[in-house]
Structure 1
Amino acid sequence: MTALHTADSVGLGERLSRWADRHRKWVFAGPAIGFTVLLLAVPLGWTLFLSVTDSKRSVRRAFDFNGIENYLGALTDFERFWPSVGRTAYFTVAALVFELIFGMIIALLLWKPFRGQGFIRTVVLLPLVATPVAVGMMWRLLFEPNIGFVNEMLSWVGIPPQPWLADPATSLTTLVFVDIWQWTPMVALILLAGLTSLSDEPQEAARVDGANDWQRFWYVTVPLMRPVIVAAVLLRGIDALKTFDILYATKGKGGGSSHDVETLNVYAYGLSFDYNEYGLASAVLILFFLIILAVIWVLQMQRKGRDS
């Protein structure tokens, strides 16, 4: 009996060993994948649950289910919700377009080796070292209307002081500039990695055919770089959509007294922590999540259409 039990144990161990060897990629990656799914599913599920309740004022207060009432309330809110959607779109598109343009210029300048290239790369990447809150506070001081260094420099050339962050008409555009200053190096780094992986043969062939620098860039470099550009757009675009730190650090609650920089993130944060409207805030976050998924889907469809 003991010998039979031992033989069965050895046989089971061998079968498990062979199974693990055949599926070793899932055996090693499984725990990390499971943990990641759990880390995403639990908060998302709880937010979705709260979004169909009237939870507010206190987390210990009893709440009732109200179906899609919170979603209808958000979608019919033309005073705060839809303006925040517009600001989010403006901030994301404006920042992303200029970051791609400036990032490509920087990547092209750093593409070919030159003396002092290592030092220049280090300097270019310095904005990424600071945290967004620190960057926001730094630029808030620089843009201060009375004692800020930016207005001081403008006075040297006879330009009167500008309100920058103090004026609702210019505050969001000013913060777009701050975002461009901080995150253009990341886009440049992604594009530079793509450029360094390109073969020299297409460039040489185009040069032999008489193409000038602009023609080689537009008709050779850009098509070859399209997958990398799409990856940079996805990574930076999603990150720009979720921007919160510099907006809150510079303008405070509600995106300022006039809500001039209130994006969806700032709006949802205010609903949760300023007004304790947990159900409505959860509905706004779910809608925001759906917007992000829609943006990702559109970009993926465009990439597949171009690849085909």
Structure 2
Amino acid sequence: MTKTGLIIGAGHYADIQLEAWQKVQGARIAAVLSLTMENAKKLADKYGLRAYDDWETAIQEIEPDFIDICTPPDSHFYYTRLTADLGLPVLCQKPLAPTLQEAEELVAYCEQRGVPLMINENWRWQAWYREIKSMMDAGLLGKVYSAYMAMRPGDGWGDNPYPVQPYFKEMEKFLIFETGVHYIDTYRYLLGEIDSLYCQVRTLNPVIKGEDMAVIHFNFSDGAVGLYDANRVTYMEEVRCPTYGYMTLEGTEGKLRLTEDGTIYYTPRGGEERRHAYTIPSEGWKGGCTIATQQHFVHILREGGSFETEGRNYLTTVKAVYACYESASSNKVVQLG
């Protein structure tokens, strides 16, 4: 039986998620709920859905099987609490909450009520990272000892940066909290748990409040080291390219590099670099990651099992985010493991 969902939020990313829901098998979104009917209706009309500005009415009329929360972080706990009180599964956008304490309370609230909670952390579902993980699992790199991720969206310079999401300018914690969290989670997906980290941050564009540059050094439990080298102000010929930047991985049996368009190049030890053939989905945002993430959510709801980014597990990523700010403030290495 097809699962019916209600999405809360009518902003930029709710639109991206609703586009993905059109391709997900086994579930459908029936309605959009927003604080204002105007915003809800504008997005709902685009996808032929119902629009609401009242929680009780939406729940009574839609009778959803799950709730997709796609609102700003400061409202996540509020809507998660309402959903958990109804015993409904939750798909909640990142960042999980404005503070670590609230994130922990949000996860505990769902656990206490036995409500499934998955964080909509879609970065690890980008086709290139799934393929890289498969290459690693197949032993093509051997034991990976070094990783480098450069994030360069190129959308953060000038008097009016981030035109798609202008509220970014007002965030006190920005680059790591809003975007870097994706990379921390992806590093965990590829290389395992983080033992310690050292972070430095800068604010390069004076018109914003938070940091727009960060360099983070990670030590992983299996001995690998990783570097996250990120800023949103460097000029890029293509703004917000598919991968947001580029990446390299080095191991005992080979190395690879990921380019800005999602191409992977692989070099075996003793051999020559060659393009690695794989398929990037033609549909969906950033290598089909929104479709893949939401399909995973629905699959687990229908078939059982554990979400890759279930609440308790994802708290490890959230704790690493706050450890980055602690490190930057103290100018010291912070232990996590």
Instruction: Give the TM-score taking structure 1 as reference length.
Output: 0.26
Q: Which has the larger radius of gyration?
A: 1
Larger helix percent: 1
Larger strand percent: 2
